Structure 1
């Protein structure tokens, strides 16, 4: 009669390499989670910067006397805000609405920022995301007209 004896060492040898596979799988999950956190953080920062740029631009446009100067001041202020955070937006656009540019009127500034996420190489995450914001500021009722 033949007797089969299995050693404990041989059973463990059948699982050799599984720890390495598990470690690689765990690292992959960690890298993906880290990438998702980076994307969320970048989006949160971009949203804040876009809103700040719109508000600052609208306010800057209300302190000058002419429409031309107001448009220039708003675009310049938005550009300065984006320059303070150079690596957030790939491109940005500023639209200044001066339709009611008179004492007691409003200045409205629409800002759009394109944020790049392609460098994160995450599955299911788009290469770019667009953020928009609107800033509205009132013109002093008692200031001299243009």
Structure 2
């Protein structure tokens, strides 16, 4: 009985650690998605269109910092687009967040490698925002 436990215990520990690692990676991915969403929404309601890009980047970066996701490489891209609807033309803002997170930050300190996390969110510019 002790031999079976000695053989199965390390495998069980590895399985549990892999489950924890997958959960932490998924949580970091959710944070990157939240950062893209916050950036797009912030840009869409920005009172000064000239500052919308800077506001979007600041909002996305704040979400990442708040949730403790530290990116080795971070790229926050802000783009504009249009959407034709029967009610008229709508202007959209798209924010894409790309974050490369070290596995050592997510799983076990000192673990080599990284995971690229990407998210994009589109928000319609609020035409009634304060001018």
TM-score, normalized by the shorter chain, greater than 0.5: yes
Greater fraction strand: 2
> Counterpart in 2 of 1:131?
117
Asked if the contact 1:46/1:89 (under 8 Å) is kept, the reply is no
Q: Any stretches of 5+ residues in structure 2 without a counterpart?
A: 83-88
- The 1:141–1:104 alpha-carbon spacing in structure 2 relative to 1, beyond 3 Å, is farther
1:90-109 aligned at under 5 Å gives the runs 90-91=71-72, 92-98=74-80, 104-109=90-95
Q: CA RMSD in A?
A: 2.8
The separation in 2 between residues aligned to 1:90 and 1:64, in whole angstroms, is 26
Paired residues in the alignment total 121
The separation in 1 between residues aligned to 2:31 and 2:80, in whole angstroms, is 23
Which of 49, 57, 68 does residue 39 from structure 2 map onto? 57
Stretches (4+) displaced over 6 A: none
Asked if the contact 2:94/2:120 (under 8 Å) is kept, the reply is yes
Q: Any stretches of 5+ residues in structure 1 without a counterpart?
A: 1-17
> Counterpart in 1 of 2:62?
80
